[in-house]
A and B are shown apart, each in its own frame.
Chain A
Amino acid sequence: SQTIHQWPATLVQPVGSPLSLECTVEGTSNPNLYWYRQAAGRGLQLLFYSVGIGQISSEVPQNLSASRPQDRQFILSSKKLLLSDSGFYLCAWSARDNQPQHFGDGTRLSIL
Chain B
Amino acid sequence: AQSVTQPDIHITVSEGASLELRCNYSYGATPYLFWYVQSPGQGLQLLLKYFSGDTLVQGIKGFEAEFKRSQSSFNLRKPSVHWSDAAEYFCAVGPLSGYSTLTFGKGTMLLVSP
Contacts and interface: CB of A to CB of B under 8 A. Distances in A.
Interface of A: 6, 34, 41-44, 46, 49, 51, 59, 90, 92, 97-98, 100-106, 108
B101 A49 contact: yes
Interface in B71-111: 90, 94-102, 104-107
A23 to B, nearest CB: 11
B46 A100 contact: yes
Contacts of B104: 43-44
Contacts, number: 51
18 contacts: A41-B9, A41-B106, A43-B90, A43-B105, A43-B106, A43-B107, A49-B101, A51-B99, A90-B44, A92-B44, A97-B98, A98-B98, A98-B100, A100-B46, A101-B44, A103-B44, A105-B42, A106-B42
A3 to B, nearest CB: 12
A42 B106 contact: yes
